[in-house]
Amino acid sequence: MRKGLLIIFIILPALSRAEDGYDLWLRYNKISNTAILSQYKKQINSPVVFGSTQTVAIIRTELGRAFSGLTGTPFRILSSIDKASSFIAGISTSSAILSSIVTKDELIRIGKEGFIIKTRPGKTIITANTEIGVMYGVFHFLRLMQTYQPITGLSIVSAPKLKLRLLNHWDNLNRTVERGYAGFSIWDWHKLPDFIDKRYVDYARANASIGINGTVLTNVNANAVILTKPYLEKVKALADLFRPYGIKVYLTARFSAPIEIGKLRTADPINDTVQLWWQQKVKEIYELIPDFGGFLVKANSEGQPGPQDYNRTHADGANMLADAVAPFNGIVMWRAFVYSQTSNDRFKQAYEEFKPLDGKFKKNVLVQVKNGPIDFQPREPFSPLFGAMKQTPLMMEFQLTQEYLGQGTHLVFEVPMFKEVLNTDTYSKGKGSTVAKVVDGSLDNYSLNGMAGVSNIGNDINWCGHPFAQANWYSLGRLCWDHGLSSAQIADEWIRQTFSNDKSFVETVKKIMLQSHETLVNYMTPLGLTHIMYNGHHYGPMPWGNTLNRPDWNPVYYHKADSIGIGFDRTPTGTNALAQYSSEVQRQYDDIDKCPEDYLLWFHHVPWKHKMKSGRTLWDELCYKYYTGVDSIKAIQQQWNKMNKYIDPERFGHVAQLLGIQVKDAIWWRNACLLYFQTFSKMPIPAQYEKPDKTLEYYQNIRILYAPGN
């Protein structure tokens, strides 16, 4: 089988791996517009990159590959200028030409990772303070070329808005991936450190191209074995490979590691022996990996061990680890995802546990907060912690892998969801105190800041399972670099690089992507419904679920449907979770008649006959949303079916088949949910809608076995 694939690659290079999705947004296909191609060639003649490090070698290789592919002409990247050189790149001190076109103020503005691109007629200059910055500048320039943008008259001074731009892999040492829908883990721990898969190099290239500068290699449900010497040597092999690409490695620390691999009797964070054990372990790590980033920790949540096992606080646990990594400039990212049966509303627990600790964490600790208060649902209000912890830097955690968004079968562009949260005003310091300003540190003047995305990467040939899931990986990097970018701009970039620059294709597919999230919300959880997925694997609807031991593990806990109405009352007449927000935010949501309807059932138990802004009753509005969601995904399917003439048949067919599944799933969601909620509302589905062709009992008897990622 391998020999056959190799022969195809040689004979038919245009139909090789580049069009099965493996090359992501780095395809570098020849520019089809001859006028643009002619213009570009003038700006990149006899390209030179100054320097002799591994990073510079990577830049030269990338430029040679890109310029040759985009122009259809072989390019050799020089190390010194010749008379014909019109493209010059390197750190500002490497050449008088480079230093002469930048100002001291510009160099201060770009810091260690930013870059400067300036063009003159027939001349392109890319420079930075560091070679990593030059690399980012080169990738930005290549992005302009791939998307057919003008590359004359440029004066770009760009620096990332976030210091930490990370992927969080939920990968286990046995190569399974928790909530992973693209195959097994790309980390082949069994063969490391001696076998370095080429995929690791391409992974680093892809991340560097979008500015991601860190990767947490292991699952937050941590395994202490990763901290043993044999596995640290495997981690070192990856760290050494990633370093020239500007990527640091991080590990998840299992809080009970001193017991499990250190043979201690306790993991109490204030115990001197425990502290010494961690200090020695950290020293061992840094001796192998001098630029090790630090630890990500999930503690006292979903059965994970933590400081509360010893009647200590999250701050006690985080600070112990922070002290251990501080001498090496390491950091600790302590997750705020906690829940137990101690709270009367799972929505409130993270705030209840972390708000009292504000200001008590060491300066090299970030509290990593999920975008919403529950768990990566299709739509959530922002977590109250983002407006509450003014003395603690908070790091955003988004989920790229689509655990609650149709998993590997549904087309969902997540950026509109991310932007919705980032742009929301917390009012923590008056109007304009957006979540984005909390996360980037500008609101409270924190230099330590960051954003993480739970990885959707696996060993599938196209990396992410669904061809469009690649866009969410791409978008994480772009938003980390500049969260001011619009959803439309990011979608446009990705489409042009990944598929085609054809205007008709770009505009149609961009429309599909931009409406995909709202479409999914409508056919899954409209009007603020939440967490009504199947227990365990979370694939498909299960609003009737009520068999698990803990109330907050069951869907009925979240929608509270009864004969009166539906929704979770979080106003003062209910759990009063609204009190965790500023008074301005409370006023937006506390009135049932004024609450934004996208979040209505998050905050109110609403009567079935409540009149909505449309003039429909709540029940009729719920029906309208579910049916609109199904109609919208059918329309998306029809639009995609017209795109076959623009792209390769393999990726077109892959998406087309998955859209077929998505349409069926949307109908399943609509019918199952409405039939179930109808048992409480006792109201008919409006006459204009096609009635479900199956009974509620039929849907309740559906069983999904062996769902991936579970």
Catalytically active residues are 302, 375, 403
Q: Specify burial of residue 387 (Cβ count, 10 A radius: 0-12, 13-18, 19+).
A: buried
Which residues fall within 8 angstroms of residue 543, CB to CB, at 6 or more apart?
Answer: 532, 555, 556, 559, 561, 672, 673, 676, 677
Determine the 3-state secondary structure of 555 from DSSP.
coil
In this structure, the strands spanning 87-91 and 123-128 are parallel
Pairing relation of β-strands 331-335 and 115-120?
Answer: unpaired
- Our measurement of the distance from residue 328's CA atom to the centroid of its chain's CA atoms, rounded to an integer in Å, reads 28
Residues 126 and 117 sit within 8 Å (Cβ to Cβ): yes
Angstrom distance (rounded) from CA 56 to CA 395: 31
Residue 369 · residue 451 · CB < 8 Å: no
Contact criterion met (CB below 8 Å) for 410 and 362: no
**Omega before 193 cis (within 30°)?**
yes
Whole-Å CA distances, 408 to 100, 181, 547: 50, 5, 27
Residue 124, helix vs strand vs coil:
strand
Q: Could you give the CA distance from residue 506 to residue 639 in angstroms, rounded to a whole number?
A: 12
Q: Are 318 and 365 in contact (CB under 8 A)?
A: yes
Q: Which residues, 6 or more positions from 50, have their beta carbon under 8 angstroms from its beta carbon? A: 56, 79, 80, 88, 89, 90, 91, 94, 95, 98
Q: Is 338 strand, coil or helix?
A: coil
Report the b/e string of 551-577 with b at 16+ CB within 10 A. ebbbbbbbbbbeeebbbbbbbeebbbb
Cα 206–Cα 210–Cα 212 angle in degrees, nearest 5: 85
Angle at 646 between CA 642 and CA 652, to 5 degrees: 70
Nearby residues of 436 by Cβ (< 8 Å), 6 or more positions away: 422, 423, 483
142 vs 163: CA distance, rounded Å: 23
Strands (E), 551-613: 565-566, 606-607
Q: What amino acid is encoded at 433 in this protein?
A: S
Q: For 180-204, what is the HEC assignment?
A: CCCCCCCCCCCCCCCCCCHHHHHHH
Please tell me the distance from the alpha carbon of residue 497 to that of residue 503, in angstroms, as a whole number.
13
HEC letters along 409-432: HCCCCCHHHHHHHHCCECCECECC
Q: What are the tokens at 225?
A: 């074995």
Beta-bridge partner residues of 425 = 434
Cα–Cα distance measured from residue 252 to residue 239, given in angstroms and rounded to the nearest whole number: 15
Whether residue 328 contacts residue 286, with contact meaning beta carbons closer than 8 Å, is answered with yes
- Helix or strand or coil: residue 297? strand
End-to-end CA gap in the chain:
31
